[in-house]
Amino acid sequence: MSDLPDSTTEPNAQLLSDVAGLPPLPGVYRYFDSDGAVLYVGKAINLKKRVSSYFQKNHGATRIGHMISRIARLETTVVRSEAEALLLENNLIKTLNPKYNILFRDDKSYPYLKITGVAASANVSSQFARVAYYRGAVEKKHHYFGPYPSAWAVKEAILLMQKVFRLRTCEDPVFNNRSRPCLLYQIKRCSAPCVGHISAPDYAQDVADAERFLHGDAQQVMQELEQRMLAHAKLLQFEQAAELRNQIAALSNVLHQQSVENVSDRDVDILAVKVQGGRACVNLAMVRGGRHLGDRAYFPVHVDDAVGIYVDDDDTASSVLSVEAQVLQAFVAQHYLQVPVPPSLVLSVAVDSHLIEALSAQSGVKVTAVHQPREQRRLWLEMAQTNAALQLARLLSEEGSQQARTRSLAEALDLAIEDLEQLRIECFDISHTAGEATQASCVVFQKHKMQNAEYRRFSIDSITPGDDYAAMRQVLLRRYGKLADAMRETQTSGAGALGRLPDLVLVDGGKGQVSMAREVFEQLGLSLALIVGVEKGEGRKVGLEELVFADGREKVYLGKDSAALMLVAQIRDEAHRFAITGMRAKRARVRLDGGKLEEIPGVGPKRRAKLLQRFGGVRGVAMAGVEDLATVEGISHELAEDIYRALH
């Protein structure tokens, strides 16, 4: 880590004075560098003892030593207990993203299986609950099951609800307007409540059975179905008995296929960690209602930079948790801040018991954790450990391949970059539809991967529609104009908050776009050697692209199997994708939002209502021609022309 300062640098006097004045109370501490960036967030039962221990000995060239050499100031927050300190610590870690803490990136919310609640309403659909895929905030009037590790797992569960309990999945507008059963009824995936093929009480019984099954009461549901089947048979109601027989057979088949285990704790999360090659993987497997729903892999960042965590406040800096324990503890603490925690956790390594207590206090659920499980739990854990090892091996393989591509490109273009980790490439692309809604994209490649958080879109205006060269000129001036001015003032290659100049600027295009980029860079006083155009090959075939240079070098064809060309194509395609999605969104806004009817002079509430009623909505109005618009009562031919122009 050559960019780190000398680890023997002594802390400043003010910092040591602040440390000496800390209280012997539980709390959270934060270290900052001279630029105000947060370095580390930690918790302590005794703030004075914990923080003082960092500065009472020479940590040498260890990661703790490197961090201490950067500390310029500290902040602390006193809390009432260690549990509060744990929760605050991990909230701050997720908020501040400190360099020396292990971080797990926020993932999108987990999906759930939702069964809509039955409300007292005259609406027929409200009397027949619907099963659906759901992601988002939960509402009390509905029942939610999960979370599930993936959308696929939810869809499998919905299919199961259709096969066994024949619950409806259609939206209410479809349900309320059906006059005959749909295909799902014909293939025995729905009981057709929409047309009265099942009574409300019988359907409610199926919903209740489905919910009990999802809660893990599969055997009880099976027994009750058998009792109901026998009762119908005794009353000579053979059709109803046959329906229940088929349902029992379907449920029995599901239980056999999914290996539903009759375990004491039906909701369990299994967490296995694997560390190798400077990277780590936490594999989370979910068991809900006794059924194994699948798993998901998480890869933390800053594992290499993570500072050792003290086992307890009486230990010295040399007594720290293993890397595996640090990673798993960080995951448990950060993950369950926003995700419901099940009552049982099965872990591959032990974590701090205070953390489990804090989770229990936060969730209101008694949480237990075991790291040496037996029987079925042991099988689940072994499966999770295997998957963690496989996922980490895949990641290391992909990262190795990506690093090889970066190295190949640097060598092919003679880029004088000592640390390939810092090689920064920015790529630009222009997208529009026949000149409409022109958007330019800028994507960033650094640290051997695309940096999504640094992507930018530019809305292009004040140009002739369809003029890609003018669009490229505008976006390059906007991206590098202020940066070039700041560089001239500071005489450096970077400009603080404005970022730094990339090592390579890719433009999607050949000689024309490169010429335009060259003019912009000459105007700004920037090096022409940075500009490389990606020119499509013969027949615009992938793999035949050539690189065009702005500084007069001859075009280069790297070869379709070149790792360097693969990287260029990857970055170019990402810029193209990002530009297209932005253009489509802008085009939709222009067509539907930018031309709202209420913004058109002469179209008041009454005329607007008549237009919407006549054409079925704004989209229908936008698709109508002038003559069609003029047929609406109160719309003259001149006003119809104004409406048409506004919406087009």
Res. 305: pLDDT tops 80: no
**pLDDT value, residue 251:** 64
**pLDDT value, residue 121:** 46
Mutual angle of helices 151-165 and 238-258, in 10-degree steps? 150
- Phi, psi of 633, rounded to the nearest 5 degrees: -60, 130
**pLDDT value, residue 78:** 92
* Number of neighbours of residue 367 by Cβ within 10 angstroms: 21
Predicted confidence (pLDDT) per residue in 433-458, tens digit? 666 668 888 999 998 889 988 899 88
**pLDDT value, residue 588:** 54
Predicted confidence (pLDDT) per residue in 253-303, tens digit? 655 444 444 456 678 999 999 988 778 999 999 888 777 888 889 988 888
Predicted confidence (pLDDT) per residue in 580-627, tens digit? 887 666 555 544 443 466 667 788 878 887 887 777 667 677 778 888
**pLDDT value, residue 295:** 86
**pLDDT value, residue 589:** 52
Res. 123: pLDDT tops 80: no
Task: Say if strands 268-276 and 344-347 run parallel, antiparallel, or are unpaired.
Answer: parallel
Predicted confidence (pLDDT) per residue in 453-500, tens digit? 889 988 888 888 778 899 899 999 999 988 888 887 776 655 555 678
| Interatomic CA distance for residues 14 and 38, integer angstroms | 18
**pLDDT value, residue 263:** 52
Angle at 91 between CA 90 and CA 95, to 5 degrees: 115
Domains and CATH numbers, the chain: 13-96 (3.40.1440.10), 112-258 (no CATH), 268-300+312-392 (3.30.420), 420-590 (3.30.420.340), 595-647 (1.10.150.20)
**pLDDT value, residue 264:** 60
For 104-168, give the DSSP string.
-PPPPPPPEEEEPPP-S-S-GGGGS-BEEEE-S---TTSEEE---SSHHHHHHHHHHHHHHH--B
Structure tokens at 379: 């099988």
Average pLDDT, the chain: 80
Q: Please, is 325 exposed, middle or buried when counting C-beta atoms within 10 Å of its C-beta (0-12, 13-18, 19+)?
A: buried
Helix, strand, coil shares, percent, the chain, to 5: 45, 15, 35
Predicted confidence (pLDDT) per residue in 526-555, tens digit? 989 899 998 887 666 666 788 889 888 888
**pLDDT value, residue 64:** 78
**pLDDT value, residue 165:** 83
Structure tokens at 8: 């023997």
Average of per-residue pLDDT across 70-84: 87
Predicted confidence (pLDDT) per residue in 337-348, tens digit? 778 888 999 999
| Interatomic CA distance for residues 442 and 505, integer angstroms | 10
The pLDDT > 90 percentage for the chain reads 13
Predicted confidence (pLDDT) per residue in 381-423, tens digit? 999 999 999 998 888 888 788 888 888 888 888 887 778 888 9
Predicted confidence (pLDDT) per residue in 159-205, tens digit? 888 878 888 888 887 888 888 888 888 888 898 888 888 888 888 88
Least confidently predicted of 15-29, 70-84, 128-142, 445-459: 128-142
647: amino acid identity, one letter: L
Question: 385 forms bridges with which residues in the sheet?
Answer: none
| Interatomic CA distance for residues 145 and 143, integer angstroms | 7
For 202-255, give the DSSP string.
HHHHHHHHHHHHHHT-HHHHHHHHHHHHHHHHHTT-HHHHHHHHHHHHHHHHHH
Q: Of the candidates 450, 411, 489, which has an alpha carbon nearest to the alpha carbon of residue 572?
A: 450
| Interatomic CA distance for residues 177 and 185, integer angstroms | 16
Where residue 424 falls among pLDDT bands split at 50, 70, 90?
A: very high
Cβ-contact 409, 571 below 8 angstroms? no
Cβ-contact 547, 533 below 8 angstroms? yes
Average of per-residue pLDDT across 214-228: 73
**pLDDT value, residue 487:** 80
